[in-house]
Structure 1
Amino acid sequence: MIVDTLEHLLENEHAFGEKIQRGLKFLKNTDFSGLAAGRHDVDDEMFYFINEYETKEAAECFWEAHRVNLDLHYILEGTERIGYAAIERLDVRDEYSAEKDAVFFTGELQSAVAASPGDLVICYPQDGHMTGIVAAQKEAVRKVVLKIKL
């Protein structure tokens, strides 16, 4: 898992492969303000979701990981905590679904980062992640989750 601001990641884009570089530039150059929540296609290698929700306690959230796509969580509004755990430290709750490109887990939340507008969290296939966790107080979050095919 990589956590930083979009601006910092763009400054160090040489550290990433071509697909992630393209994804970072896409996030930088796209105006998401007028777009509705839900799925939006970019091309054969990228699509994204505009997610809108209210944060909640970790006990109400869930762990997941993906095999086909990287997740780039880019916060537009609000603050949430995003939990992290290596998938081998979690217990499988629901086996991998190719349709959802997701496997769901159970496990204790031991590590989380707060993400605010402008922050970006990159989740690789080995990164179990739990999103939507309340930070200081419950609040509305609006974010882009860019999916990049590996």
Structure 2
Amino acid sequence: MIIDSLENADKYLSVHKHFAKAFEYLKNEDLQSLEVGKTVIEEGSLTSAVSAKEGAKVEDAKFEAHNNFIDIQVCISGKEKMGWSTRSVCTNPVAPYNPEKDVIFYNDKPGMYFELQPGQFAIFFPEDVHAPMIGEGVIKKLVIKVKI
């Protein structure tokens, strides 16, 4: 997992072959004016999804991981609390991995929590189980799915 602000995004361009394109997209968009919905950035490699929803309570947050995609999750407005644990300590899946949606949910609880402010991001790799969208009020965020 990586947590940082968009102003430092260039430090992470070499972490994955698609990160340069993903962060270029973020740099060139007016995040505040993005409409809710999905966009293909690069067919088969990068997609983005903008959402604006009421934040969940800690106990109601979904705790998830992905096998085939890395998430770059950017807070656009509001304050988003997130939970995290390494997948190696999560032992209680809700159901088997869903390959069509590339997701597995866990009944386990996060080992730690942190909060993103507007302009900050978190990167979750397949070994990162995360519980996003925790908070009060409407949270607007953008998630870029990066094909591994």
Deviations 1:78-125 (A, max 9, x none): 001111011122221121111111111111233011001000100000
Q: Which amino acid aligns with 2:138?
A: A
Aligned residues: 146
Aligned residues of 2:13 and 2:19 also touching (Cα < 8 A): no
> Separation in 1 of the partners of 2:13 and 2:55?
34
Deviations 1:36-79 (A, max 9, x none): 31222112210011011111211111111111111000111100
Aligned residues of 2:71 and 2:143 also touching (Cα < 8 A): yes
> Separation in 2 of the partners of 1:117 and 1:68?
27
Partner residue in 2 for 1:4: 4
- TM (normalized to structure 2)? 0.91
Q: Indicate yes or no: 2:74 matched with 1:77.
A: no
Aligned residues of 1:58 and 1:109 also touching (Cα < 8 A): no
* 1:1-150 aligned within 5 A: 1-10=1-10, 12-13=11-12, 15-44=14-43, 45-90=45-90, 91-134=92-135, 138-150=136-148
3-state DSSP class of the match of 1:24? Answer: helix
Q: CA deviation at 1:143?
A: 0.7
> Separation in 2 of the partners of 1:66 and 1:109?
16
* Unmatched runs of 5 consecutive residues or more in structure 1: none
> Separation in 2 of the partners of 1:33 and 1:114?
19
Q: CA deviation at 1:5?
A: 0.4
> Separation in 2 of the partners of 1:35 and 1:99?
27
- TM (normalized to structure 1)? 0.90
> Separation in 2 of the partners of 1:144 and 1:99?
21
Q: Which amino acid aligns with 1:96?
A: Y
Q: CA deviation at 1:8?
A: 1.2
Query: Could you say if the C-alpha distance between residues 13 and 51 of structure 1 is closer, same or farther in structure 2, counting changes exceeding 3 Å?
Result: same
* Unmatched runs of 5 consecutive residues or more in structure 2: none
Aligned residues of 2:74 and 2:122 also touching (Cα < 8 A): yes
> Separation in 2 of the partners of 1:114 and 1:16?
23
- Aligned-CA RMSD value: 1.4
Q: CA deviation at 1:15?
A: 4.4
3-state DSSP class of the match of 2:39? Answer: strand
